[in-house]
């Protein structure tokens, strides 16, 4: 099956700990995106990458970091500097040069205790 996967589905961490969220795609898409969604809200862009070994900050990058060492993978680290990390995190990918349609993973719900 082709698609985009995120793991784990639920994640609990203690305050002050860094945590890394996984995002993998086998769609051969060049571009990948990380969004944050708070209850009853739309999506806000954290980071995006249009090609391997390159990424750019989105609208709310503070307290987050990413890497893009492989085309298939775009992990997001939520650092202890992120003041309010409890949220639903969504990863997406897109084929560059085509329509702007993004394909989303199932999301990871992070709860910081």
Partner 1 sequence: SQQGEEDPQALSIQEGENATMNCSYKTSINNLQWYRQNSGRGLVHLILIRSNEREKHSGRLRVTLDTSKKSSSLLITASRAADTASYFCATDGGNQGGKLIFGQGTELSVKP
Site residues for partner 1 per CB under 8 A: 6, 31, 33, 35, 40-45, 48, 50, 56, 58-59, 88, 90, 92, 94, 96, 99-107, 109
Nearer to partner 1, 6 or 82 (CB): 6
DSSP letters spanning 7-70: E-SEEEE-TT--EEEEEEE-S--SEEEEEEE-TT--EEEEEEEEETTEEEE-TT-TTEEE--SB
- Report the nearest approach of partner 1 to the CB of residue 31 (Å): 5
Nearer to partner 1, 58 or 75 (CB): 58
Q: What is the largest CA-CA distance in the chain?
A: 42
- Report the nearest approach of partner 1 to the CB of residue 84 (Å): 17
Nearer to partner 1, 15 or 101 (CB): 101
């Amino acid at each position: 099956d082709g698609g985009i996967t995120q793991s784990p589905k639920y994640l609990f961490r203690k305050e002050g700990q860094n945590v890394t969220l996984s995002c993998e795609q086998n769609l051969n898409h060049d571009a990948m995106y990380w969004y944050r969604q708070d209850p009853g809200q739309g999506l806000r862009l954290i980071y995006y990458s249009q090609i391997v070994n390159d990424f750019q900050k989105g609208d709310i990058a503070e307290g987050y970091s990413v890497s893009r060492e492989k085309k298939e993978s775009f992990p997001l680290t939520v650092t202890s500097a992120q003041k309010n990390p409890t949220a639903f995190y969504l990863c997406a990918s897109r084929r560059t040069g085509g329509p702007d349609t993004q394909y989303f993973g199932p999301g990871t719900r992070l709860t910081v205790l």
